[in-house]
Structure 1
């Protein structure tokens, strides 16, 4: 299976992305989702195949979702309180 996708990022939520089939565009994305997502910002166009690796999503799940429902929504990673504390501490370290 191969799917040519346009990938959009959300202007409202960091690291939230929408994958849609290039030919269909955003027509398969529900209006409510688009309202929450914000005005999509095109990032890239990519040919997805079973052999391709994605950084934070299973390529097979993405391809099937795009084919079956018209889109795949990649949510931002969950950051727990411990990780927030580590990130805050690291940002306070002196840069050399």
Structure 2
């Protein structure tokens, strides 16, 4: 299964996987507006891969097959204040 991966210039660390290069027909218009102008990053053959760096490859394959696209969002940021408060409460 081949796919094209695009990055968003509006949303940091956000990527859009589509089945064919420059074919965004399956992607909802609202999502494309939020995503901004897609910038091609790479073409991937998912059939020859066992994993991806920051996405579950099985979920990517499934969503590409079922809905025609996959949106990869950045991982949630660590809440350093909450971690610090938790470490302080453990000291008491």
Larger Rg: 2
SS at match of 2:6: strand
Q: What is the total number of aligned residue pairs between the two structures?
A: 83
Q: Structure 2-normalised TM-score?
A: 0.80
Deviations 1:22-80 (A, max 9, x none): 26821110000000000000000000027421011111110110110010000011003
Q: Extract unaligned runs of 5+ from structure 1.
A: 84-96
Structure 2 gap segments, 5+ residues each: 82-92
Runs of 4+ displaced beyond 2 Å: 49-52
Report deviation, 1:19: 0.4
Name whichever of 47-56 and 12-21 sits farther off.
47-56
Match of 1:61 among 59, 62, 80: 59
Aligned twin of 1:41: 39
CA–CA distance in 2 between the matches of 1:32 and 1:58? 24
